[in-house]
Amino acid sequence: MFDVAPFNMASDMDPVSKQTTVGNLPRRSLGFFPTPLVELRRLAARLGGPRILMKRDDLTGLALGGNKTRKLELLVGEALAQGCDTLVTGGAAQSNHCRQTAAAAAASGLACHLVLGGEAPDVADGNLLLDLLCGARIHWTGPLRKGEKIPEIAAGLAAEGKKPYVVPYGGSGPIGAAAFVDAVGELGRQLDEGGPTVSHVVFPSSSGGTQAGLVVGKAAYRRWFDVVGIGIDKEGVGEVTLRERVLRLANETARLVGFEHAFSAKDIILREEYLGAGYGIVGDAEREAIRLVAETEGVLLDPVYTGKAMAGLIGMIRERELTGSDTVVFWHTGGAPALFPHARELV
């Protein structure tokens, strides 16, 4: 990989992003961009509704890819600019965010400490296996599953003379979200090369950074599509609901990138009726969605995020909320490494 990739995000040559300051934030190249934008004709024919395109952020290339790669380019950029030598973050045992953080650290010559909920399993599988292969140190925290112990562990590392950089939960602070402002510019350039007019962008929303960035990007790049997050987790992060968090983060992100705009509740479209049995639980709807996309397109969704979001898209098509006059971009945020530990629920 290149320190400055030849075809990385085109913020330098993009007039709108020049109006914002995303292009001025320190960035460490970690993935391959632009990610492909492909049409899913066979899936669309099977569902009989809108035209469906897929933005393949599962192919960012960083240790099996995913949406956190975009955020980490800016987060690691800041960590390096601050002279830090260690990344610290946390999440669930099968966190895609933690796996991409471990790989980003390895690719950047940094140490990585991961604060994971639960207990060490007998066999490390899926994302956890990849964390270990990338050399991450794991701290198991039992019932605390949302990185509650990150500050304590970072303080311990600092006391040992390390310079830790705390990557926020899910990479979802304004810096991480700013990467998705850029991502709208990237998508826009792909659509403007003869692509269709898009009515909806649909994706899984969890810690809120992806959605906040897409909301700001849509406004900054004057796109007209609806930014539709599908909630995948019943619990919010900390005290606030996901909806409140996305709104707050959108305003913080707009400020960070110098885009003058005040977002309000109406800008946040978050669909929470497709939660099924909750975070990481594969029910009939998720299983159907994962198998349908694999069988019609040979594309692998994941059991926790994109499987639920696709179940939501299928639900909206069956409810005739999305019809033949719509064109949807389904943002594939990655996560396939978690298919393997969920094998029993999938087939």
Ligand X SMILES: *Cc1c(COP(=O)(O)O)cnc(C)c1O
Interior CA angle at 260 toward 176 and 212, to 5°? 30
The reply to whether 95 belongs to the active site is yes
- Crossing angle (nearest 10°) for helices 68-81 and 174-192: 130
Q: Three-state SS for 276?
A: coil
Helix (H) or strand (E) holding 39: strand 37-39
Beta-strand ranges (E) seen in 210-341 are: 226-231, 269-271, 327-332
- CB under 8 Å to 138, separation ≥6 — which residues? 114, 116, 120, 128, 131, 132
- Residue among 108 and 205 whose Cβ is closer to ligand X: 205
Sheet of strand 200-205, all strands in order from the earlier edge strand to the far edge: 37-39, 51-56, 327-332, 200-205, 226-231, 269-271
Q: Six-digit token pair at 225?
A: 């599509």
Distance CA 170, CA 209 (A): 8
- Least CB distance from residue 177 to ligand X, whole Å? 8
- Residue among 157 and 330 whose Cβ is closer to ligand X: 330
Interior CA angle at 99 toward 206 and 299, to 5°? 70
- Least CB distance from residue 208 to ligand X, whole Å? 5
- Residue among 32 and 305 whose Cβ is closer to ligand X: 305
- Least CB distance from residue 80 to ligand X, whole Å? 22
Which residues are registered as beta bridge partners of 76? none
Q: Three-state SS for 19?
A: helix
- Residue among 92 and 157 whose Cβ is closer to ligand X: 92
- Residue among 53 and 304 whose Cβ is closer to ligand X: 304
- Least CB distance from residue 102 to ligand X, whole Å? 13
- Residue among 96 and 108 whose Cβ is closer to ligand X: 96
Per annotation, catalytic residue among 11, 29, 95, 172: 95
DSSP 18: H
Binding site for ligand X (CB under 6 A): 66-68, 96-97, 170, 172, 204-211, 302, 305-306, 333-335
CB 328 within 8 Å of CB 228: no
Provide the annotated active-site residues: 95
